[in-house]
Every structure is written in C-alpha cells, then in structure tokens.
Structure 1
Amino acid sequence: MRGSATPVGKREIARAFKLSGSDDRERLKALLRDLEADGAVERGRNKRVAPPQALPEVAVLEITGIDADGEPQARPLTWTGEGTPPRIFLLPERKGLPAVGVGDKVLAKLSRINDRLYEARTLRRIEGAEGRVLGVYRPAAEGGRIIPTDRRASTEFLVLPANRGEAEPDDLVLADVLPAGRMGLPQARVVERFGSMADPRAISLIAIHAHGLPTAFAPAALREAELAAVPPLTGRTDLRAVPLVTIDGSDARDFDDAVWAEPDGDPANPGGWHLLVAIADVAYYVRPGSALDRAACERGNSVYFPDRVVPMLPEALSNGLCSLRPGEDRACLGFHLWIDARGSLIRHRIVRGLMRSAARLTYEQVQAVRDGRPDDATGPLLDTVIAPLYGAFACLWQARQRRGTLDLDLPERKVRLDGRGRVADIGVRQRLDSHRLIEEFMIAANVAAAESLETLAMPGLYRIHDQPSPAKLEALRSFLAGIGQPFAKGQVIRPEHFTRLLERTAGTSDSHLVSEVVLRTQAQAEYAPGNIGHFGLALTRYAHFTSPIRRYADLIVHRALIRAHSLGVGGLDDAAMAKLEEIGEHISKTERRAAAAERDAVDRFTAAFLADRVGCTFSGRISGVSRFGLFVRLDESGADGLVPASTLPDDRYEHDEAAHTLVGQRHGRTFRLGGAVTVTLVEADPITGSTLLVLHREGQADPTLQIGHSGGDHPGGPDSGRRKRRRGR
C-alpha cells in the first residue's frame, strides 16, 4: 500500500498476491478491517484504502507558487493530517483548459509518488473561490477566532482546533476561508503565522501581506547582487575630483543621487549656472533579463514604512554598490545641465562616469548652514559647494514660478519610533528650502532625460500627468460658484489657473476646503511610452531618471539613454522595448500598491499611538464627506477618523456630493469638507488602522459648524524625482 502511487482496493491487493477463492477474499477483508481499526490505513471513496494522511484520488487544490522550472505547485485546500501537507506538482495542462496562476483553486486528480509527494492533473478550475483572510488569532471556547485586519470585513472567522496550525494567541496569521456552512460563523484554516501582534513590527507586516508585496529575493538574484563589483574607469568619465554631495533626510536608507553646481563661465550665458546631477548606475549591475531584473520588475519600486523598507533591489546593491557613500568610488550616470539666469534649461550632456561623493548631508544640515549655523561637516563646504547650489536653485525656482506649477504642498505625517520600535510621536514632516533645492535639481535632470529620449527618437517611459477631465472641471466650477469663487471657463486650463485660485483663497475660511477640492480634481500621474506632458509640473516632457535604486521606471530610462548614446553595456534590449506599454501599466499599478501599503501602515501606527488616548478631545478638519458620516483629520497627528452619521446631532441628513456637504433637513446644520471641528476619540484599533470619533458636545449646538478625507494624488510632489518617504503627496 505504501509503495502504491494511488489508494488501492481489495481487487488490486488480491491481484497483486494472486489470491483466489472466497476463503482468501474473506480473510483479506478481515485483515483490512483490522488494519483500519489499528489506524494503519484509512478508507477513502470507492472503498479504497491508503496509509494515514494520504490524499484522496480527487481533491480541491490551491496553487501556491511556481518552482524554478516553471511548474505550478499546489496544496490541498483542506488538510487534517499532522504537520505540513505533502508537496503537489501540477502536470502540464491539457489542451482547452485555462492556465492557472498563484491563488487559483482547481479540482484535480492526484497520483501519489510517495508519502510526501504527489502529482496532480487539473480536471477543472473552480470559480468563485472564497480566498484568504489576514487577521489576528484569538482563543475562543469553540477553538479560536480570526479578527480580520481589513476594516471592511463584516465578520470574524471560526478556527477549529484541527485548523489552528501553529498559531498562538494574538498571532498575526494568514488563513484560507473554508467553504461556508449554513449556520454560524464562516470557518478558516491557518496556513501561515507571522509572529505576535505584541511585536511593533507586526504593524508594517500587516500592510506588506495585505497588499501582497514581494519580500523574498530569489537565490539567483541574491547571488548576482553579491558578486557585483565597482566597474573600472575604462570607458567612463572620471568625476571623482568634482565635489558632488548627497542631500537626504536623516532617516534615509540609501543615497542614489548627488549634486554639484558652479557659475557658468561662458560669456554668452551671463548669470547662468552649470549643474551636475549624478545618479547611481544601477543599469550596470542589473542587466535586462537577469534574475535581478525580474525581481526589480516584479516589485516595480521600493516601499517605505516607518520601521523598514521593502526594497526593489537586494541590500548588497541598494545599500551597497548603488548607494553613493562619501569617499567611495561609485559608478554613475549623470547629466551636465546648463541653465540661464532665468532658470531655463538651455543645453545638457549625459555622461557615464565614476564618482566619489564628497559628503553625505541631511536637509536639516544644509538648511542650518544656509541660515548661518554651520557645523563641522557643512562649514568647509559652504562657499565651494553649498552656496553655488543655492545660487542655481534660485534661478530654477524662478522658472518654476514662471511656469505656474501647481504646488498644493499638503502636510505629510511623519511617524517617529523609539528604540523598541514603538511610536514615540507623530508630527508633520518639515518642508525646507533644502528640500525644494533638491527637488528642482531632480526635475531639471528628469526634463533633460525626457528631452534626450525625444530628440534621439528613442523609446522609453515618460512620467505623464493628464489635465483634469472636463467632467471634474465642471464639477469644480459648480462647487466654487456655490462659495462665491469664480473659476476659468471657456479657455484651456493650465496649472496657473489653480495656483491663482489657491492664492486668492489663502488665509480665508475656505482655504482648506478649496485645497482639498482642487486636489480631488487632478488626474493621477502614471508611466507610459507615449508622451502627453506633465500637467501638474507644467512641463511638455518629463521622465523619471533620478531614482533607479527604488523605481523600475528610472532603470528603464537609464537603459534607454545608454542605448541611445552608445554608453556601453546594460542598454535597453529589444524585448523590453516591445513591451514598454505593458511595463508602464505594471509599474503604475505597483506604485499605487506601494502608496496604499505605506498609507495603511501609517494609519495603523497612528492608531497604535492614539490607542492610549481614548476619551481625549482633539481639533481637526473634515477631510471627507459621505452619506454614512464624516472623515476628520486631526490637526495634532494627521490621523483620519470616522464620525458616523448616526452620532451626529439629531436630524435627517442628506449628502450633497457636488457640494461636499451633509445637510440637516430639519435644523439646517451643515457639515462641509475642509471645515474645522472638535472631536472626541472613541476608538483606535491598530489591527485595522481605524479610528472612531464623535463630535465634541460643545460643537453640536453651532448650526454653522463645518467639518472635513483627502484623496487623489498630488500632481507636483510625487514627481519631483525624490519619493523616498513622500509617496502620499
């Protein structure tokens, strides 16, 4: 029986041992009953028997992954045996059956190779499978419960003892939802545990697994990264004597861009500047079609959490050879940029070089020396490096103002953790001139990259941002008319029209409201091989070039430039060139996935921070209005919480979607997007990241009370070329 590839019946056993006659068959029947009673075999369908824990001949399987040879692997949807279930390999699909992917469920016929290995052939695919749930396991009288981490989940899940796996109380677990019965809670079976929710790191783990972020690199990719080395100078421009510096946040984990500037000595360009923006040469290490390339493309970008990074590239590159550490030789791709006194880019030249960073500086350090407070690191660099950078920045800033770039400059939450990984405080991330300096240098380099691709007719990926749709513009005009604010009509809309509106309402009671509505009017930026320009930045051509460590789009642009300018190895290959549309769509999706995961993690860290302050009162503004309640953003922490409509002052409220209001039909109370309000914290749940609020009693009597959820994608901030920790803007 143990040697048989499939469960066997009496007929197969009798044939194997050449048994005949009724006496032999009766003795065999009795023997099988004894073996079954002793637990040595189990009886399945069709009265066939097999060793304990053997799988049935036909079973429902879930596809769990693809092995190195491209063969799908699966596991039984239900498993009651001890330990982990046997490994199952799916045989190639028969003609006419749809291909299966990870997460699909199939009805399959199994063939047993040995106790721990099976082959299976798909009979049919099962549609409408229940899927999985991520949650926290808690003991209960009937076994256990899973409390889902998704705040939209409407129920808990029952876990019977046989389906508990290795889960311990308060563990974060992943579970398969089992076919529903007619009575009681739906059931689930734990398939993986990620550790205790008491560990502060569990918060970002929820976001990672809830959004399906890849976290493990294939061994081949890790090997390629470990074997990489700094290239020789041969064929490269020697930039090691240029005092390039990196300027990043104090919490930055990688440094992939460096800058330098000097006055332009050309008499034909009075008051102009010569800039150099040098970027880590990731394309030299990550070649098209390599294991590293496949991993980077799958991820699309790095994802940044308060306590960790899920990188696009292994640490040997992202924090090693591609990080522009001071005093160390690093391969780079850079643009020499020449701007005039008005900040216009008049020409540029690309080089593939070898550089050596003169210093690793922080935004705060650079701002302090600019304000007259140098330290040991910045003092010696003030006249030769930092002052010229600010001189060039002043010209670039003039050009930005002239273009009428849309800059909503919305506050961004910054979560600071203590030594144990717990939230110490949550505040608003500082916005300094040193931030703007680097952003303008990055924008100039990105424009040069796009111009270079376009001039040489080289296919690549552009960062495009469409103008608002006519429907959204009409809704905006209608809304603004209701608050006495006219908006341009009958003309081509430009970013400067929004800028004038924001300037006109700045400092008024409607300023927050107008900013929120303008934000929601904007289209979402994305990646595409076809250039339509960047509306928010008021630029006709723009490509992401400055962050190839953490954005696959930038790596594609690097490869395109290398091929276009014949700069050596690592250029864009024909296979990728033929799939640029598909690649652009994929990395646009991974960017949105990363933004959602980062936002969810910050929400949960914020809820954990507020959990001890239930009952406290906070000031805030209405950041969203819906028929089921109000979203309020707290001034102190930036946390978004829900005020359910059922808790509002007694009235019958109607939601005016166009006006972003809830209006009481009997007493006329109006709750409007952007309005100020005082609220009391009722609940803060780190598991789901949800925060529940009620209006403070003193505010309920005010019939003019206005309350305000930001949404959308800020068109300017994310496309500065610097999105290490500022993805949500």
Structure 2
Amino acid sequence: MKDEIFKERKDMIEDLIVRNEFYVPMKTKEIAILLNVPKSERPVLQEILDCLVSEGKIGITKKGKYIKAENVALIGTFTMTSKGFGFVTIEDREDDIFIKSSDTLNAFHMDRVKLVITKEKKADKHAEGKIVGIVEHGITSLVGTFQKGKGFGFVVPDNGKISVDIFIPKEYCMGAVDGSKVVCKIHNYGKPGKSPEGRITEIIGHINDPGTDIMSVIRGYDLPLEFPDDVIKELRKIPEKVDEKDKAGRVDLRNLTTVTIDGEDAKDLDDAITLSKEGDIYKLGVHIADVSHYVTENSPLDKEAIKRGTSVYLVDRVIPMLPHQLSNGICSLNQGEDRLALSCLMDIDSKGNVVDHRICETLINVDRRMSYTSVKKIIIDKDEEESKKYADLVDMFFLMEECANLLRNKRFSRGSIDFDFPESKIELDDKGHPVKIAPYERTTANKIIEDFMLIANETVAEDFFWQELPFLYRTHENPDPEKMMKLSTFINNFGYSIRLGDEIHPKEIQKLLSKIEGSQEEILISRLALRSMKKARYTTECIGHFGLAAKYYCHFTSPIRRYPDLQIHRIIKENLHGGINKKRIDHYNQILPEIALSTSNTERRADEAERDTDKIKMCEYMAEHIGEIYEGVISGVTSWGIYVELPNTIEGMVSVNNMHGYYEFDENHYEMVECVTNKTYKLGQKVEVVTISTDKLQKTIDFKFLEDCYEDEIKR
C-alpha cells in the first residue's frame, strides 16, 4: 500500500514540475497542504521529496525549503574518468563534486555543465551531484587510434579519462587503417547506449612510425606548431640588431661585467646577471630581455603569444611562445651583442635584506655565456682548467655563491619550502628513441640563478603592490585545512608533528622536512606533504606564495617563454614612462583577470603535455627491459595497485591483480595490507620489482614484486 502511495504522489509532483506548476519555495508542511496530503501520509511525502532532491529534480535551501532544481543549479567543468563516473570542478569552490555514472546526463569529458547538489560533503567524502544540463561542449575534436570494422570504424581516444570510443561512419574514415593515429572531429555526442559519432580530419601517421607518438600528444593538446601568416609578416619589421634610436633614454650598463648562466642546450637566454660588492652591500642586477619592446599590445605577435601562453618543453622539441627570430635572436641576451633589457637593480645587505632597489629600462652587453656545468666546476669542483679559462670571472662566481647563500638562508629562515624531487632527463637518438633516462642534476649554479630570480620576482611584486596598480601575481594559496589535518594525523604514527592553527605557516612544513631529512620515511612524508599543497596560479590579487613563504611574488624573469612576465613588463614600462592614467588602469583591470585565468590554463596544458611525452618515452625505454629487476621506492598506494619509482625517475605500477594474496587498501595510513598474513606495503618503502609489460597507448608500465615472481617460479 505504501509503495502505491509513494509512486502515486511522486508521479503527481513530477507532473507538476514538468508543467511548471510546482510553486516553490515551500517547506514540507506547505507542500502537504497544497497537495491535500493527510498527516498519516506526510512521512511518505518527506521520502518522496528527499528522493526528488537526490535525483536532482528539485533543490533544497539551507533553511529547508524546496525549490526548482534550476534555481540551485551550479555551473562547472565535468571531468570524466575511464570508469564512467566523474567530477565537476566549480570556480571558487574548494572541493570537486562527485557525479555517479548514472547521473552524468551523458556529459562528455571537459563539458561545461549545469548540476545540482544531491548530497553535501561529509568528512573525507566528496559532495555528490547530478548533471541537469550541458552548457557547452569543451572538446570538439580529439586524438586517438583508429580501429577498422566492416563498413565503419572506431577511434579509441588517447585521453584515458574519456571512457567511450567514437564511432566513425565509412564515408568519414578518410582512408585510415588499423593502428592509424588520427584527429577526429566530434559531430554527435551520443546518448545513453549510443556512442558519440565523428569524422576523421587528419591522419597523423601509423602508431609504429617514428615521431607519431609525440605528434599525437601535440595534436591532442591542440598545441600550435606553426605561426600564422600575420605573425610571420610582422617578423619582417623586427631588426636583427638593436637600432641606435632604441638605445636612447636607457640606463647604459654595458660597462658592467655581465654573464648569462643556462643549460648547455639553451638558446632563448632571457636573464643575465651583474654582481659586485661595495662595503657590506651586494649590488645585484637581474637583467631581463625587454621582449615587450618588440611584442606590442594587441599586435599579431601578442595575440599569438597569449593564445600559446607559454613555451612547451617536450622531450624532443620546444614549442616556443614566440618565434625563434625573437626568442633566439633579438630578444635573446646573446654574448657580445647589445640588447635591450628591463632590469631590477638591488642593494642587498649582509643579512640578505633588499635595502634599496631600482627598476629601469637598460642597455646591456653580455660578456660571457656560461653554463651551469662550467660554473659548478669552478665553484664546487675547484677545476683548475675551467678556472683558468674564465679567470676574469672566477671572483664574481664565488661572490654569486656568497650572495645566493645569504638570500637562501633568509628565505629558509622565514619558512620557504624546498621540495627537491628529481626531474627526468631523457636522451633520445636521432630517430627519437630513448637511449638513457636519469635524474636531472640540479647543481649549485642552478640554485644560484634560482635564488637571484626569486629575489627579483619578490622585489618587483612588492614594489607594484604598494603602488596599488593593476598587476599579475604568482599565487600559491594556503593548503586545505582538512588535508593538513590528515597529514598531521598520519605523521604522528612516526613521532612527528606539525602545529595547526586557523592557518598553517609554511615554516611548519619546512621544519617537518628538516626533521625527516635522511630518515627512512623522508620520501613518504615529503610526497604526502607535497600532495597536501595547492597548485600555484596567476591572480590579480596579491595573496602571497605559501611555498616560498613570500607575501609578494610575481613572474618577472621569463618574458620570452611566459606570457604573464611579458604582460607585467608592459605595465612596468608604462609606469616608468610617466605613470598609468585612470583610463589605462581601467583597461588593465578589465583584461588582467582573463589573462590570469587563460595563462594558468595554458600552463597546466603545457605541464600535462610535457608529462605525457615523458611517460611515452619511458614506456618505450622500459619495453626493452622486460624481465629485468630493479630496486625502487613505493611512490603511491591506491586501492587498485602500488606505484613504484625507480632511481632513474621512471614510475610503474604493481597491480593488485599481480600481487599474491588478498590485499586491502588502508587509506588512512597509505598502506596495502594482506588480510591473512598482515604483510604491508607502504609509501616510501624500498622494494624490488620486475618489469612485466608496457603500454605506450595508455602510457603505463607494469611491474611485479620480485618475491611474487620467485613464488611463481617455485610453483612452476
């Protein structure tokens, strides 16, 4: 009887909603009166209303009043997973909203969607929602592998988050064969039980052809390779050498001993250093290529630069933000060439404080193009041959080390955090095949340049903050309190603690990293601490940089390869040339929020593309090392497997399906525990593994624990 009443009343309310006659907001009692529901049936009515809320058909306010679903609908971006469920990210909301596969409304990966909350967040569980509308499709084309059928084909997307294949009618296959890597344009996004449909617009090459793998990533992330015609046309107007008229009115620093210090292969040299000492004061000059002199606002070069946002450093190539004629030519601070620069000249005392500074347009000429390797040989290795080769600069390099140490100690004393995880250096042969993978060496020379760039970025940011002018800042917000509490609880198991208040101070993280240095649990806790941090981004508000423990921070030092640096150079120069009037202030206030958002997005795109190409080459490399034994460290523990990182920075996974016994994931302790023997695998633990397979398409490497391999041998 109750089921019949439930269905009848639910159908009645749903009919009112469809006819737009569900007059709300109302509380349960008011709805009961409207629908003439007797008191005996009101518990059933409450169940119906709860059910309609969970289905996203109506909403509920904080005061308990029921309203139309569209009145509480939120707008966000849907991220699909390979299993069909997903998450919606909403701007200005801390947590993502979980969407069950049955509640996606067939939304596609990266769609802008309208959704309603069906369950609020509780403890560690995400809030849950239901998608009630699709605002805009975020992906209109994708890259994948073509699979030929009889009279049709399918494209299996490279992006593992897209859980559906794209159906390709015969007339739209463009002659693709099995294994072709293709670009596919989607023209129908499908519906439940029916695949999306598309047409092939480009055949990149066969999956086994050299270069196809990297080009697939480039096309997949829509990274622009060629510069458009209007940009090429504009380049013809740019001189190869600095015009004499452009030198006028600048501070001439060509008499100062000036060096660049970069990697051996670097061609876009956008920062140079001068350093001397007068009494107890270090005179540090950080000179940055004046790119904005040649790339003017709203020019074709500028529009293309903001579209790209950043240079992308893939394993086999660089996709530059600016054409090489600029980035390697007139804007590169090449040895022996007069160059236009924007300089931050700082006076630094013996405690590492910037006691005075000046930001100005300058003219410089680099005396020596140095490499990190050479400077390290001089400072650390005390290499006689190298020291003799650069005899006139040796004293300055030791002065650089002295000054950088002061700056670094000052930064660390206020709580700056240094997560020193190794980056990968992948060497390829002339066919693009990986021949060596190892950690990238971060030398003393690298750190010196980092310290000088950091202090210049801080100094410029503070200057413009106090001038109260529109600006772009590099922001790293405080960690999420819940994640910090979780980290605090976990490290207590090892006898460590962090002091948590309303806001955690970066010094607490730094102290923790100092305490664990050299311990068995160092890698484990360092990784967890890093995962508790938020991602840095660009903002128009100066809200500080948590990781650097800096109140003021911006990106000033790389305008050749980062658009935010180029943008603030324009503001700085305009301010130097008589100030910024109200009209220009309004202009910058209007454009900067969008620039902050778009450059944060293009930075993420570049990071993901770089990671993907690294993973592809790591898979290719490990495919030649099947059956080999490695010692590694557990870098991640999940319910589906254990990630292991090798000393050469390659990471693979031991699937639970390849582990002997029945293991359960202990989320609170980041451990995998065998239910019978209590054998435990945990983050940071050293293990021996065997490479068993690789998959370049999925970008995965599969390991198996060596001891399980031995057991298999014994059983055989």
Q: Does the 8 Å CA contact 1:606/1:639 hold for their aligned counterparts?
A: yes
The residue type equivalent to 2:607 in the other structure is A
Aligned to 2:42: none
The residue type equivalent to 1:669 in the other structure is K
Distance, in Å, in 2 between the alignment partners of 1:483 and 1:387 is 41
Q: Shift of residue 211 of structure 1?
A: 2.0
Taking a change above 3 Å as real, the CA distance of residues 145 and 492 of structure 1, as seen in their structure-2 partners, is closer
| Identity score, percent | 33
Q: Does the 8 Å CA contact 2:478/2:503 hold for their aligned counterparts?
A: no
Q: 1:400 aligns with which of 400, 404, 411?
A: 411
Alignment pair present for 1:657 and 2:675: no
Q: Which moved more, 1:130-139 or 1:624-633?
A: 130-139
Aligned to 1:590: 602
Q: Does the 8 Å CA contact 1:458/1:564 hold for their aligned counterparts?
A: no
Aligned to 1:328: 337
Q: Does the 8 Å CA contact 1:534/1:540 hold for their aligned counterparts?
A: yes
Alignment pair present for 1:212 and 2:226: no
Distance, in Å, in 2 between the alignment partners of 1:648 and 1:362 is 47
Deviations 1:118-169 (A, max 9, x none): xxxxxxx997799544123466676766443233455666656533315356
Distance, in Å, in 2 between the alignment partners of 1:589 and 1:694 is 37
Q: Shift of residue 252 of structure 1?
A: 1.9
Taking a change above 3 Å as real, the CA distance of residues 681 and 158 of structure 1, as seen in their structure-2 partners, is farther
Taking a change above 3 Å as real, the CA distance of residues 249 and 199 of structure 1, as seen in their structure-2 partners, is farther
Distance, in Å, in 2 between the alignment partners of 1:148 and 1:517 is 31
Alignment pair present for 1:233 and 2:247: yes
Q: 1:605 aligns with which of 617, 635, 640?
A: 617
Q: Shift of residue 700 of structure 1?
A: 8.7
Q: Shift of residue 439 of structure 1?
A: 0.4
Alignment pair present for 1:647 and 2:658: yes
Q: Shift of residue 572 of structure 1?
A: 7.0
Alignment pair present for 1:502 and 2:516: no
Aligned to 2:358: 349
Distance, in Å, in 2 between the alignment partners of 1:439 and 1:296 is 25
**What is the SS of the residue equivalent to 2:609?**
helix
Deviations 1:651-681 (A, max 9, x none): 1x33332322222333222222222222222
Alignment pair present for 1:149 and 2:158: yes
Alignment size in residue pairs: 573
Alignment pair present for 1:286 and 2:286: no
Q: Which moved more, 1:505-514 or 1:133-142?
A: 133-142
**What is the SS of the residue equivalent to 2:247?**
coil
Taking a change above 3 Å as real, the CA distance of residues 214 and 650 of structure 1, as seen in their structure-2 partners, is same
Aligned to 2:307: 298
The residue type equivalent to 1:256 in the other structure is D
Deviations 1:383-431 (A, max 9, x none): 3542332232232233223223110111111111123322121100001
Q: Does the 8 Å CA contact 1:137/1:169 hold for their aligned counterparts?
A: yes
Aligned to 2:498: 487
**What is the SS of the residue equivalent to 2:225?**
coil
**What is the SS of the residue equivalent to 2:491?**
helix
Q: Shift of residue 524 of structure 1?
A: 1.4
Distance, in Å, in 1 between the alignment partners of 2:553 and 2:355 is 16
Q: Which moved more, 1:495-504 or 1:185-194?
A: 185-194
Q: Does the 8 Å CA contact 1:369/1:382 hold for their aligned counterparts?
A: no
Q: Which moved more, 1:131-140 or 1:491-500?
A: 131-140
Q: Does the 8 Å CA contact 1:562/1:572 hold for their aligned counterparts?
A: no
Please show how residues 414-493 of structure 1 align to structure 2 within 5 Å: 414-490=425-501, 493=504
Alignment pair present for 1:243 and 2:253: no
Q: 1:319 aligns with which of 316, 324, 328?
A: 328
Higher normalized contact order (CA 8 Å, seq sep 6+, divided by chain length): 1
Q: Shift of residue 189 of structure 1?
A: 3.2
Structure 1 stretches of 5 or more lacking a match? Answer: 1-102, 105-124, 265-269, 702-729
**What is the SS of the residue equivalent to 2:386?**
coil
Taking a change above 3 Å as real, the CA distance of residues 129 and 588 of structure 1, as seen in their structure-2 partners, is closer
The residue type equivalent to 2:693 in the other structure is E
Q: Does the 8 Å CA contact 1:629/1:642 hold for their aligned counterparts?
A: yes
Q: Shift of residue 596 of structure 1?
A: 1.0
Q: Shift of residue 483 of structure 1?
A: 2.9
Q: Does the 8 Å CA contact 1:449/1:561 hold for their aligned counterparts?
A: no
Distance, in Å, in 2 between the alignment partners of 1:567 and 1:242 is 27
Aligned to 2:174: 165
Taking a change above 3 Å as real, the CA distance of residues 137 and 372 of structure 1, as seen in their structure-2 partners, is same
**What is the SS of the residue equivalent to 1:522?**
coil
**What is the SS of the residue equivalent to 2:393?**
helix
Q: Does the 8 Å CA contact 1:274/1:336 hold for their aligned counterparts?
A: yes
Q: Shift of residue 376 of structure 1?
A: 8.4
Aligned to 2:29: none
Please show how residues 567-578 of structure 1 align to structure 2 within 5 Å: 574-578=586-590
Aligned to 1:41: none
Q: Does the 8 Å CA contact 1:527/1:585 hold for their aligned counterparts?
A: yes
Taking a change above 3 Å as real, the CA distance of residues 156 and 200 of structure 1, as seen in their structure-2 partners, is same
The residue type equivalent to 1:666 in the other structure is V
Deviations 1:475-500 (A, max 9, x none): 11111123332222347532221122
**What is the SS of the residue equivalent to 1:205?**
helix
Distance, in Å, in 2 between the alignment partners of 1:159 and 1:677 is 45
Alignment pair present for 1:367 and 2:381: no
Distance, in Å, in 1 between the alignment partners of 2:682 and 2:173 is 47
Q: Does the 8 Å CA contact 1:259/1:275 hold for their aligned counterparts?
A: yes
Q: Shift of residue 632 of structure 1?
A: 1.9
Q: Does the 8 Å CA contact 1:456/1:564 hold for their aligned counterparts?
A: no
Distance, in Å, in 1 between the alignment partners of 2:282 and 2:139 is 61
Aligned to 1:685: 695
Q: 2:269 aligns with which of 255, 267, 286?
A: 255
Distance, in Å, in 1 between the alignment partners of 2:607 and 2:192 is 39
Q: Does the 8 Å CA contact 2:660/2:708 hold for their aligned counterparts?
A: no
The residue type equivalent to 1:314 in the other structure is P
Distance, in Å, in 2 between the alignment partners of 1:650 and 1:305 is 41
Distance, in Å, in 1 between the alignment partners of 2:258 and 2:566 is 21
Distance, in Å, in 2 between the alignment partners of 1:581 and 1:182 is 38
Distance, in Å, in 2 between the alignment partners of 1:356 and 1:543 is 26
Aligned to 1:413: 424
Q: Shift of residue 170 of structure 1?
A: 4.2
Distance, in Å, in 2 between the alignment partners of 1:457 and 1:577 is 12
Please show how residues 533-572 of structure 1 align to structure 2 within 5 Å: 533-566=544-577
1 or 2, which has the higher helix percentage? 2
Alignment pair present for 1:696 and 2:696: no
Q: Shift of residue 172 of structure 1?
A: 2.2
Taking a change above 3 Å as real, the CA distance of residues 516 and 631 of structure 1, as seen in their structure-2 partners, is same
Alignment pair present for 1:221 and 2:231: yes
Please show how residues 2-41 of structure 1 align to structure 2 within 5 Å: none
Q: Does the 8 Å CA contact 1:288/1:573 hold for their aligned counterparts?
A: no
Deviations 1:327-359 (A, max 9, x none): 112111011111001111111111212211112
Distance, in Å, in 2 between the alignment partners of 1:148 and 1:524 is 27
Q: Larger Rg: 1 or 2?
A: 1
Taking a change above 3 Å as real, the CA distance of residues 513 and 132 of structure 1, as seen in their structure-2 partners, is same
Q: Shift of residue 182 of structure 1?
A: 10
Q: Shift of residue 177 of structure 1?
A: 5.1
Taking a change above 3 Å as real, the CA distance of residues 611 and 272 of structure 1, as seen in their structure-2 partners, is same
**What is the SS of the residue equivalent to 1:415?**
strand
Q: Which moved more, 1:175-184 or 1:333-342?
A: 175-184
